Structure 1
């Protein structure tokens, strides 16, 4: 059997959905996120027959589905389709986690993904359904947190991130970061958990304190004049894939993507060196950060980046690293209420918020010192 590129192998159905100025195949079907794989497979087959005319006459024996490891938001499947000519086509099905619309703007994601795919980032978007999407399959392995700090890979991530930040996504270029954070804050500060243990943990949070910290952070970062770019906003190891044979790196999963600040995207990425265990002793050293910055700022001649530019990006990134902790801490509170995925989101809130508090004095001092010196120059 020969695996082929689905982008050239399937014919979409007549139903379509607009994503900005691009139209993609769409099915009105849904797939129950909670089903076990054997029970889910008939629904996947029905979906594919509805979505792609090319496969409408195949029976269920031509389809095979397998669970992929993924993040803590969605459910990912690899589906193989054996066609009548003997070719086998591989695709990825992403089923949105329940209630993720509380934290993810799906219309914004869909508009971005088609343009990013055209620009060479991530898999091809092949079709959408009511609670998910079908994409081409990437023949690569998902990175782990320790991979990201390897100098060669760090340099490649930096180069690709620079290119990613240069993609033009149609629509408003207004940064959405603080709008999203304060939406999260508003939703997170009025929650009630049915589980008594969760509710008791939740009551320990001072939202007045959190709001004060957010206001101070917004004021501080606003003085740094960080460039506004289309940011990935979730560049953790699980959203980076590598084909070791071809040494090709892929960015995937753009559901949190938006116009935002350059320093946030980089600082958020550095936070992810800690992995889901949140071991922040693994946060990159200054030398490791400078290695990344050189390849980001001047991919062709990284050794020609000036000390002034390195320091400026270091301060910018360090400040927005704090914002990243607050963003995901508030996100976690909402997920603790809404998500059915087995993950201790409340504990994750405290891990992120406590790390913010541990680092804030050091980071605020660095930024204020830099801003003070800049004014005297």
Structure 2
């Protein structure tokens, strides 16, 4: 992952102890790093559900050439997706050349390869050339033969979200947001969109512009999960 505009904060204490240990272990294997413990922690903007940090080390060349990304999972967002499944998905994608490489894992986050590219903005999505690049990358993404059962997860996920919304809502809020109607709409959509002509594919399910990166020189697209 690459950096958006940020402010350097040399605050290693923002990282979990397990993450610091992995980072120091990684850096100690790189011959050009002067001091594996002398890392800089830079908060990155743009992530919606996680805390994301760029990590740098001073190199023997006098420049900060070694970089990785630390992603700390947000609290309370597990209701929206299965975290274990996300990790398995990321690992498989990493092994198959999709997205950044996985460099390490700790209980509430992971360490990723730093991609020298920029995160897209909303206006980028209106650029037909960039849209074409995204479409081509998505074709590769959808053709990944992800291990595990090939089941449609959309409908159960929507119903789980709706159930959580009902549980957390007052009767007045449930009525205002027409939650009972949404339940009927989910069933209607499932019936209309399920059929023998469907093809099963691996889907991202969160492809907002903050999860798409563009390397300007090579026009290479990277999708983040």
The one of 31, 41, 49 aligned to 2:12: 41
The one of 50, 53, 67 aligned to 2:21: 50
Larger helix percent: 1
Aligned residue in 2 for 1:71: 47
Higher relative contact order (CA 8 A, sep 6+): 2
Residue 132 of structure 2 corresponds to residue 131 of structure 1? no
Q: TM-score, normalised by structure 2?
A: 0.82
CA distance 1:243–1:201, shift in 2 (3 Å): same
Conserved? CA contact 1:49–1:55, under 8 Å: no
Conserved? CA contact 1:123–1:135, under 8 Å: yes
Conserved? CA contact 2:9–2:43, under 8 Å: no
RMSD, matched Cα: 2.6
Instruction: Show structure 2 runs of 5+ residues with no match.
Output: 1-7, 29-33
SS in 2 for 1:101: coil
The one of 90, 96, 99 aligned to 2:76: 99
CA deviation vs aligned residue, 1:331-356 (integer Å, no higher than 9, x gap): xxxxxxxxxxxxxxxxxxxxxxxxxx
Aligned residue in 1 for 2:203: 231
Cα displacement (A) at 1:85: 7.5
Cα displacement (A) at 1:64: 0.8
Structure 2 counterparts to residues 157-176 of structure 1, below 5 A: 157-176=134-153
CA distance 1:157–1:84, shift in 2 (3 Å): same
Q: TM-score, normalised by structure 1?
A: 0.51
Conserved? CA contact 1:78–1:90, under 8 Å: yes
SS in 2 for 1:94: strand
Q: Look at both structures and tell me which one has the larger radius of gyration over its CA atoms.
A: 1
Which structure 1 residue ranges, 4+ long, deviate > 6 Å from structure 2? none
Residue 214 of structure 2 corresponds to residue 242 of structure 1? yes
Instruction: Show structure 1 runs of 5+ residues with no match.
Output: 1-36, 194-198, 255-377
